[in-house]
Structure 1
Amino acid sequence: MGPRGVGSDDIVLLRDIIDLTRSGQHRPGRNTVFELLDRLERLIGSDWINFQDCHVGPRWWRTWVQFTSHGESGWVCGDELVEIDSAPELEVLKRYWWQLDCSLVDRTGRPCVSSSCASLGGRGWAEHPANVEYLRGIDELLLAYPHGGSGGSLRILAGRDEGGPFAERERVLMELLLPHLQPLLADSLAEEVGPTRPPVREQVPPTARQREILHLVAAGMSNRQVGRQLGLSENTVRKHLENVYARIDVQSRTEAVAWLRDLEAAAG
């Protein structure tokens, strides 16, 4: 038995999964991702699991989804833009999105592994409005990577509808896989939907002042703190940010900060 409940059978399956992700071993695409999801489902004992290319704004989700659920495989390919106002059942998820682990990758801009029960406690998740009113599950386990800039992410989301929540064992296994899965997921997505992805609206670079404000926002400052730093009113800072969002085609502070990080990383 390995550390924290990870056994020899788990190690064998981990190696199989890592082999699957190695360049040249398998051609990227939906069939390979189905293999990956099937093995992950067995490894962590989930009732369902899916892969999502997700872009989240304050009022909408855009996803390209590939999934397996209870042993059945399916594929949804294309632009699924879900307007929150046209989907009332999502209102509760919209209300709590930025407080829950589902937005952790969006908030931090870093790869992550998290579970709802580990974050909120078993009772806290069982009684949380997002679970009671919409998700209705025992637990969810998320592995996610930032992708594509402006709040985009690649996600593997697994759930349990009955039994106990995901334990430390399952979180450790997913953390061990975190450094390995992103290239396969990104390449498979490009293989399947790259040519059909809707074009991004042309972006207009922010002004020097707007970029200065973005840097302070990225440092964690509120609008009031930014205003004090630059000698501007809080309302002026808010207007500058609204103009930035329109210029770079994002919907929130988080997306704007992610855009800035991507821009500076690309510039070296």
Structure 2
Amino acid sequence: MPDSFVHVSDVRRLLEIIEDAHVWQPEDFFYASVLYGLALLVPADEVGFQVNAWQRMWLSFHDVAGGRQVPVVSPEVDPGDPSFAWEGGAGLSEPLGDTTVTSSSEVHGGRRVSELIGSMAPIGDLDSRVVLHRYGGPAFSDREVDLLRLARPHLAELQLRRRAELGGQAPLTHRQWEILRLVALGATNLQIAHRLGISEGTVRKHLENAFVRLGAASRSEAVSRLRGFL
């Protein structure tokens, strides 16, 4: 299969990265593990999650090669606080509001600098995107652009999930939420397995992991803890 096509193994790895989404610091406004995994799947030297609003910007970048997380926003700053203005540079004059994936590449000082951007649908006046940078080497390929296109809707969903978590909602994976919502409706593990097209053992494993995250000992206790969110 030509390298210009997304491989099945790429899709599997992408789904694993999304499924294992977790933060590195409690104040992270996006999942650092996902950014880091994405920059290994689509090789990049830096990856960041950027949030823009009217004259405001929040940016969390990860130096992939050096293994360092470099948050521009200090931990005590609330990205949802409309009074906060990023002083490190001018924010966008207005949210862009698109949901596209774009790639560009230019040569600066004899070195190629490539950028890959996946934009999310705006949330209110907040406009978000994932940004990958590559310094030197080839520009991002069609295959890598397509990989970010596949990832983009999942990243948008993770953004909503992380905002909910920062608002007090339990930190569960998308699949765990999906299963617990069916549990709340009274479905058995077998019924859930048939509904979602997975094995009964996989359902049990997801529930076990959800119980650990929630500190719950049973299905009823887990549902009780999530009653306000289901």
User: TM-score range with shorter-chain normalisation?
Assistant: 0.5 to 0.7
What per-residue deviation string (whole Å, max 9, x for no partner) do you get for residues 125-155 of structure 1? 337xxxx8xxx861110011132334x2111
Distance 1:72 1:42, change over 3 A: same
Within the candidate set 59, 63, 66, 2:57 is matched to 63
Corresponding residue for residue 205 of structure 2: none
Distance 1:2 1:16, change over 3 A: farther
Within the candidate set 117, 120, 132, 1:145 is matched to 120
User: If the length of structure 2 is used for normalisation, what is the TM-score?
Assistant: 0.55
Corresponding residue for residue 72 of structure 1: 68
- Quick one: distance in 2 between partners of 1:146 and 1:43? 23
Contact 2:47/2:61 (8 A) holds in 1: yes
Establish whether residue 111 from structure 1 lines up as the match of residue 118 from structure 2.
no
Distance 1:64 1:6, change over 3 A: same
What per-residue deviation string (whole Å, max 9, x for no partner) do you get for residues 35-59 of structure 1? 101110111000100112222x4xx
The one-letter amino acid of 1:64's match is W
- Quick one: distance in 1 between partners of 2:4 and 2:112? 25
Corresponding residue for residue 254 of structure 1: none
Aligned length: 155
What per-residue deviation string (whole Å, max 9, x for no partner) do you get for residues 167-225 of structure 1? 10110001111221112123324544x69xxxxxxxxxxxxxxxxxxxxxxxxxxxxxx
Percentage of identical aligned residues: 27
Distance 1:64 1:186, change over 3 A: farther
Q: Which runs of 5+ in 2 are unaligned?
A: 169-230
User: If the length of structure 1 is used for normalisation, what is the TM-score?
Assistant: 0.48
Distance 1:50 1:27, change over 3 A: closer
Corresponding residue for residue 167 of structure 1: 141
Within the candidate set 28, 39, 42, 2:40 is matched to 42
Contact 2:23/2:32 (8 A) holds in 1: no
What per-residue deviation string (whole Å, max 9, x for no partner) do you get for residues 68-109 of structure 1? 1132123334266246xx95xx7xxx9xx89xxxx9x70xx3
- Quick one: distance in 2 between partners of 1:110 and 1:31? 20
- Quick one: distance in 2 between partners of 1:180 and 1:33? 12
What per-residue deviation string (whole Å, max 9, x for no partner) do you get for residues 96-125 of structure 1? x89xxxx9x70xx331111123xxxxxxx3
Corresponding residue for residue 132 of structure 2: 158
- Quick one: distance in 2 between partners of 1:31 and 1:112? 21
- Quick one: distance in 2 between partners of 1:172 and 1:114? 10
Q: Which runs of 5+ in 1 are unaligned?
A: 118-124, 196-268
Secondary structure of 1:149's aligned partner:
coil
- Quick one: distance in 2 between partners of 1:34 and 1:63? 18
